[in-house]
């Protein structure tokens, strides 16, 4: 059986290392889920990405809760908690309604392409002057 005190002590002792791993892991695996969904990859690939990303998000939530349990209430704890919840929500969204996520990704990509195209046209126009 896992002893809560031991897990909490480990979490507090190695907080910097845990956060240094979990923050990029959360962000990168959630980004991977978004990319796989946007590229309309097979559901099994999206599911695999969601499982891994949800694992990291859940680990971050438990890590933050160990700090809340001893009364540490500071902005970093809330920032990490919100980040983990947002990553978890994005991953759940990718599983429950991938069509709306794909549509949003396509709109965002077309906006970025349009912005880059306008900047390129502006640079070309400035060179002519």
Buried-state track 19-54, b at ≥16 Cβ within 10 A, e below 16:
eeebbebbeebbebbbebbbeeeeeeebeebbebbb
- Is 90 exceeded by the pLDDT of residue 124? no
In contact, 60 and 91? CB cutoff 8 Å: no
Residues 44-70 have a mean pLDDT of 95
Residues 49-59 have a mean pLDDT of 97
- Is 80 exceeded by the pLDDT of residue 88? yes
Give the dihedral of Cα atoms 33, 35, 37, 43; nearest 10 deg.
Answer: -60
Q: What is the pLDDT of residue 94?
A: 95
pTM: 0.83
The SS3 assignment for 70 reads coil
Q: Which of 60, 49, 127 is nearest to 92 (CA)?
A: 49
**What are the tens digits of pLDDT across the range 3-17?**
888 888 888 899 999
In contact, 40 and 106? CB cutoff 8 Å: no
In whole angstroms, give the CA distance from residue 74 to residue 67.
10
- Is 90 exceeded by the pLDDT of residue 116? no
The DSSP secondary-structure symbol of 39 reads T
In whole angstroms, give the CA distance from residue 79 to residue 23.
11
Q: Which residues contact 7 (CB under 8 A, 6 or more apart)?
A: 66
């Amino acid at each position: 059986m896992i002893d809560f005190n031991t897990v909490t002590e480990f979490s507090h002792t190695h907080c910097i290392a845990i956060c240094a791993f979990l923050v990029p892991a959360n962000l990168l695996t959630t980004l991977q889920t978004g990319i796989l969904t946007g590229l309309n990859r097979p559901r099994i690939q999206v599911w695999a990405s969601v499982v891994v990303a949800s694992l990291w998000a859940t680990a971050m939530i438990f890590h933050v809760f160990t700090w809340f349990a001893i009364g540490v209430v500071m902005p970093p704890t809330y920032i990490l908690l919100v980040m983990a919840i947002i990553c978890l929500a994005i991953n759940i969204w990718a599983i429950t309604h991938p069509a709306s996520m794909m549509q949003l990704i396509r709109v965002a990509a077309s906006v970025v392409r349009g912005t880059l195209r306008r900047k390129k046209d502006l640079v070309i126009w400035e060179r002519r002057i």
